[in-house]
Chain A
């Protein structure tokens, strides 16, 4: 059974720092891995999707990597800004017939001015 874990649960950094959020999954047979952002009391915004055949995806100041063999993905945020403050969730989509997203609990990020 796939389990997704995100560490740390919460992170507070000063503005301008580069930071890394971690996501690990127990079953390497995934179809893709996705990173989402959630602002307090709001829905989710898709940030990056990495297919199982890919190693990384980039969008602006965000870079997500995927290492299936070790069951890990990282989200790298460059030059963090207060507007990056949110909860970041990763979700792994299982391969096979019953594909659905298996979610981590998220990392709550606070970027302080």
Chain B
């Protein structure tokens, strides 16, 4: 089945220790999004890739970076996680930016100790 896969589902890291979250897709979609969702809050868009073009949201902290080595994979790097970065991180894909529905993965729950 075509889908969006996120690994790991649960990630525990220490304060300040870099962490990488992974997203892969079998939908062959051009767009990949990363969202941060904290408890009882709406998802917050961090950035997205349209093919190889990277689009960063203005209020996304520099601590968050992303890489997309090919169509299928996208990574979220948190260089120095703080306690406030503990959240669910959601990856989503879409055929075209901003116009089509988005297909979400199951998310990675990040805990920062």
Which stretch, B12-20, B65-73, B79-87, B97-105, touches the partner chain A? B97-105
Q: Is the interface of B mostly helix, strand, loop or mixed?
A: loop
- Flag B71-113 by CB within 8 Å of A: 1 or 0 each: 0000000000000000010101000011111111111010000
A1 within 8 A of B: no
Q: Which chain B residues lie closer than 8 Å to A106 at the CB level?
A: 42
Closest to A32 in B: B99
Q: Is the interface of A mostly helix, strand, loop or mixed?
A: strand
Closest to B57 in A: A100
Binding site for B on A (CB under 8 A): 31-32, 34, 36, 41-46, 49, 89, 91, 93, 99-101, 103-106
6 closest A-B pairs by beta carbon, nearest first, are: A99-B98, A103-B42, A43-B104, A44-B104, A43-B106, A46-B101
